[in-house]
Amino acid sequence: MGRGRPRKTDPEQALDTAMKVFWNKGFEGTSMSDLVCATGMAKPGLYACFGDKEALYKKSLTRYFDNLGTPLLDDLEHSTDPLPIVVRRFLETVAHSMLDESCPSGCFVVNSLIEGASQHPALKAIGKEYDQRRRDVFSQRFADAQKNGEIPTQVNAQALADFFAAQSLALGVMGRTGTNEKELSNFIDVALTALPANH
Amino acid sequence: MGRGRPRKTDPEQALDTAMKVFWNKGFEGTSMSDLVCATGMAKPGLYACFGDKEALYKKSLTRYFDNLGTPLLDDLEHSTDPLPIVVRRFLETVAHSMLDESCPSGCFVVNSLIEGASQHPALKAIGKEYDQRRRDVFSQRFADAQKNGEIPTQVNAQALADFFAAQSLALGVMGRTGTNEKELSNFIDVALTALPANH
DNA sequence: AAATATATATACCGAATGGTATTTTATCAG
DNA sequence: CTGATAAAATACCATTCGGTATATATATTT
């Protein structure tokens, strides 16, 4: 086993905790003291494990996306379900995560895009990377759908993909302000009427 | 005229400037020193004119909404144009304000909702008030439209109104991340396909 | 010109910030 | 038991924060 004094807190668990704090309170709104209290790790321990505050924020956002974003995008990319089914599942999963009782703080990526836009180019950059990844998967899936005849050839598949990708931005803001489940559900129902069926 | 030493800076102009700084950098991201530099007013002058930082932020957000939000909602409420025309105009005006070169910082209300959600209940409250006002006007306009036969009786007018009101949230996030004019335009085109015509 | 009123400029305050150096404690290897 | 190692705990640092007290400058009023 290790040679020195044993860890009081598992770093992976500390990162999960830090993620929720940053997610909820933002970068500027979170102090290192907040993180010390929440994680149980002492301040020098945090710096030794994760680097400075910005590095810890980046790792938190990456953890968030690995947990929630990547599985969502994998399903969107690889599921053989019909397009309306898979798009609905995507939006409903996003909406469901907005109601997560353990951290009802909207979408961490959206929060990062908003807060990092002006002052923290590094944070904006990583947020935009994840935002772009989502958009790319939507674009690819909708282009395939048009080739497969799931949507009519005369519609602009790229615009349609961008539209549905952007709906998760609206859901993110709504989730942050406490919109309830029924309203989120209605929102998704209306959004899906913009998806043209091929018949 | 006034009795003492004349003002170096017009408070109204200072408020306009402070609004743009808060809009761009957020509440936590803006220091009083930033505001001193931007407005040209000395720090005690800012406190004498506007109160503390939170009061100045509130006045800035109010100024923003009076300038941009209120005229938009007035048009939505009172215009006799057909519903698709007036909804399109609403969204296009929002999109246009996202491209404003003087302050391309998204929507100040959306930014406030995101940032204020966790730490600053007072800021969240005023943001939600404006958000609610927008939703109320949409609801009323769509309810009227359904009575007037502009939209079919069998659709859920309330859900439709909430959906279009929420599209400005998505536009706000897109505007903050630098989405270009063509993408915003395509987004609006797709969104409007969710508005059922009555024929 | 003297007194008054109002705004500016400067200096300052305690508290909190991000970050680090130092000391103490707990484990394992010999 | 002893010495080495690694983490924890504490104290500390310079800077910046929001906010204010004090002093100075510029105008009007009498």
Q: Compute the mean pLDDT over every residue in chain B, rounded to the nearest whole number.
A: 95
Instruction: Flag residues 10-49 of A with CB < 7 Å from strand D.
Output: 41-45, 48
Question: Could you read off the pLDDT of A63-83 as tens digits, one per residue?
Answer: 999 999 999 999 999 999 999
Structural domains of chain B, ranges and CATH numbers in brackets: 65-192 (1.10.357.10)
- H runs (alpha helix) in chain B: 11-25, 32-39, 43-50, 53-64, 70-78, 83-98, 108-119, 121-147, 157-177, 181-192
Is A183 an 8 Å CB contact of chain B? yes
CA torsion, ordered B99, B123, A165, A99, to nearest 10 deg: 180
What is residue A18's predicted lDDT score, i.e. its pLDDT?
Answer: 98
User: Which of A119, A186, A194 lies at the smallest CB-CB distance from B193?
Assistant: A194
Question: Of all nucleotides in the shown strands, which has a C1' nearest the CA of A43?
Answer: C19
A199 touches strand D (CB under 7 A): no
Is there a contact between A176 and B113 if contact means CB atoms under 8 Å apart? yes
Question: Could you read off the pLDDT of B80-132 as tens digits, one per residue?
Answer: 999 999 999 999 999 999 999 898 899 999 999 999 888 899 999 999 999 99
Burial class, A134, CB count within 10 angstroms (exposed 0-12 / middle 13-18 / buried 19+): buried
What is residue A2's predicted lDDT score, i.e. its pLDDT?
Answer: 67
Is there a contact between A186 and B111 if contact means CB atoms under 8 Å apart? no
Whole-number Å distance, CA B7 to C1' D30?
A: 24
Q: Lowest mean pLDDT: which of A77-86, A110-119, B181-190?
A: A110-119
Mean pLDDT computed over B168-185: 97
Is B135 an 8 Å CB contact of chain A? no
The tally of CA atoms less than 13 A away on the side-chain side of residue A22 is: 28
Please state, in angstroms and rounded to a whole number, the distance separating the CA atoms of residues B152 and B199. Answer: 9
What is residue B1's predicted lDDT score, i.e. its pLDDT?
Answer: 60
What is residue A35's predicted lDDT score, i.e. its pLDDT?
Answer: 97
At residue B33, does pLDDT exceed 90?
yes
Q: What is the ipTM of this complex?
A: 0.94
Among residues B178, B176, B181, which one has the least CA distance to residue B106? Answer: B176
Question: Could you read off the pLDDT of A134-147 as tens digits, one per residue?
Answer: 999 999 999 999 99
Question: Could you read off the pLDDT of B143-157 as tens digits, one per residue?
Answer: 999 999 999 999 999
